[in-house]
């Protein structure tokens, strides 16, 4: 019988990988907390309409990538492919509109059925932040600055580029839509079947197409900057001024867009050249029309999401495994004492390993294998003297420490 394997596009986070993964999440939350973001935890599945209404019926995510199923009650449910829609749904259903501005941090698994590749799996993890209820560019500046601080805290500040663009306000996008449709109509014969459908329903979605033929057409399309009105240009200028004041370097990327109609003004991505083609590690933008589209009161919003796996791959120095103390009983008469000593040390905040069997030699080999920092040896002589032998496993030095003084004496090995 063949051994069972993980589902394609999923992977186990074994201890070393899990430490890097948790380090990314913990550092992101720590920095976001300094910016005043509080965590919101949403279910990993939602009613399918939450994502269909927000991502658009013609998007690749909705048409090709969502894990959608019918539950036993006949409801259509979907494993969340991204976090913003779930946060906005929680904002609406939780009655948070009366508490704006709401600053939310989230983390957790997301699910998309797509071809697995480096840094991209069918189950992947994200951290993200959202600010709901702030109209002005101050919120855009803050979420970008928070992302920059997080990447700096992870030691990645010098390895990423902030690409920035503006999508303009509703009026500007409407003007651009007309210009774009006129251009695309002239090149219909080069568009994919999916993009021909989008041309009728939501032409801006073509700008997000992954089809190589579509991308060649889009590369020569008019740019949105040429359709901006004065208010949109002023908003974008203020965002750039704020980031410059905070010493966040940016590159203007005029073809960086978001195809959905509820996106407005700022769009941005943090990119790197260290992950090959999958170079985006953090991306976001302003989505002033989303809350209303989901049935809530008109509420501006801006935020971003970052891929935890990709960030973990970039860590120069993944966090090392903690070095425990090893409690080593020598002889059966020390077994009960070893249990009580181990319990006391763990309650005092130490990481402690207590081997389950073996003579002293085997237990010492295990202590070395797990890179224990020190060994607390308990044998007949130690019991008689009322003091453990504490051996520094780096230097080899050892000393006798009374049982009731162990917690303090071992402090240097934390």
As annotated, the binding site for L-histidine includes 82-84, 112, 126, 130, 258, 262-263
Neighbouring C-beta atoms of residue 100, cutoff 10 Å: 16
User: What's the per-residue H, E or C state across the chain?
Assistant: CCCCCCCCCCCCCCHHHHHHHHHHHHHHHHHHHHCCCEECCCCCEEEHHHHHHHHCCCCHHHHHHCCEEECCCCCEEEECCCCHHHHHHHHHHCCHHHHCCEEEEEEEEEECCCCCECCECCEEEEEEEEEECCCCHHHHHHHHHHHHHHHHHCCCHHHCEEEEEECCCHHHHHHHHHHHHHHHHCCHHHCCHHHHHHHHHCHHHHHHCCCHHHHHHHCCCCCHHHHCCHHHHHHHHHHHHHHHHCCCCCEECCCCCCCCCCCEEEEEEEECCCCCCCCEEEEEEECCCHHHHCCCCCCCEEEEEEEHHHHHHHCCCCCCCCCCEEEEECCHHHHHHHHHHHHHHHHCCCCEEECCCCCHHHHHHHHHHCCCCEEEEECHHHHHHCEEEEEECCCCCEEEEEHHHHHHHCHHHC
**Do strands 161-166 and 264-271 pair parallel, antiparallel, or not at all (unpaired)?**
antiparallel
The set of long-range contacts for 317-323, using a CB threshold of 8 Å and a minimum separation of 24, is: 317/155, 318/16, 318/19, 318/20, 318/23, 319/19, 319/20, 319/23, 320/19, 321/15, 321/16, 321/19, 321/371, 322/351, 323/351, 323/371, 323/372, 323/373
State both tokens at 250. 């940016």
User: Which residues contribute to the annotated binding site?
Assistant: 82-84, 112, 126, 130, 258, 262-263
Backbone angles phi, psi at 75, to 5 degrees: -85, 140
**Owner of token pair 């240009």:** 233
């Amino acid at each position: 019988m063949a051994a069972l394997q993980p589902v394609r596009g999923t992977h186990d986070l074994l201890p070393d990988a899990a430490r890097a993964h948790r380090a990314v999440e913990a550092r992101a939350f720590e920095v976001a907390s300094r910016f005043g973001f509080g965590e919101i935890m949403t279910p990993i599945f939602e009613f399918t309409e939450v994502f269909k209404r927000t991502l658009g019926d013609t998007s690749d995510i909705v048409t090709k990538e969502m894990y959608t199923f019918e539950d036993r009650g006949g409801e259509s449910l979907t494993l969340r492919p991204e976090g913003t829609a779930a946060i906005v749904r929680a904002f609406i259903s939780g009655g948070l509109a009366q508490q704006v501005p709401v600053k939310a941090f989230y983390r957790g698994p997301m699910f998309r059925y797509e071809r697995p590749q480096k840094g991209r799996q069918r189950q992947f993890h994200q951290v993200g932040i959202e600010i709901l209820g702030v109209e002005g560019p101050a919120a855009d500046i803050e979420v970008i600055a928070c992302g920059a601080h997080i990447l700096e805290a992870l030691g990645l500040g010098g390895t990423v580029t902030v690409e920035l663009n503006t999508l303009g306000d509703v009026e500007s996008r409407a003007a651009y839509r007309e210009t774009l449709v006129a251009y695309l109509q002239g090149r219909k014969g080069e568009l994919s079947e999916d993009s021909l459908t989008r041309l009728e329903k939501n032409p801006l979605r073509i700008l997000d197409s992954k089809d190589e033929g579509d991308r060649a057409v889009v590369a020569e399309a008019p740019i949105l900057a040429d359709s901006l009105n004065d208010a949109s240009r002023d908003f974008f200028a203020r965002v750039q001024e704020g980031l410059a004041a905070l010493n966040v370097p940016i590159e203007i990327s005029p073809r960086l867009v978001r195809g959905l109609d509820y996106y407005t003004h700022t769009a941005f991505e943090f990119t790197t050249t260290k992950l090959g083609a999958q170079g985006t590690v953090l991306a976001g933008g302003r989505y002033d029309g989303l809350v209303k589209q989901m049935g809530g009161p008109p509420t501006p919003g801006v935020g971003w999401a970052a891929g935890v796996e990709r960030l973990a791959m970039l860590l120069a120095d993944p966090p090392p495994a903690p070095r425990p103390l090893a409690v080593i009983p020598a002889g059966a008469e020390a077994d009960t004492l070893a249990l009580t000593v181990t319990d006391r040390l763990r309650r005092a905040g130490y990481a402690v390993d207590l081997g389950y069997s073996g003579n002293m030699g085997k237990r010492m080999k295990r202590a070395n294998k797990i890179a224990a920092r020190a060994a607390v040896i308990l044998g007949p002589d130690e019991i008689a003297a009322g003091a453990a032998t504490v051996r520094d496993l780096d230097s080899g030095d050892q000393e006798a420490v009374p049982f009731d003084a162990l917690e303090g004496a071992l402090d240097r090995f934390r």
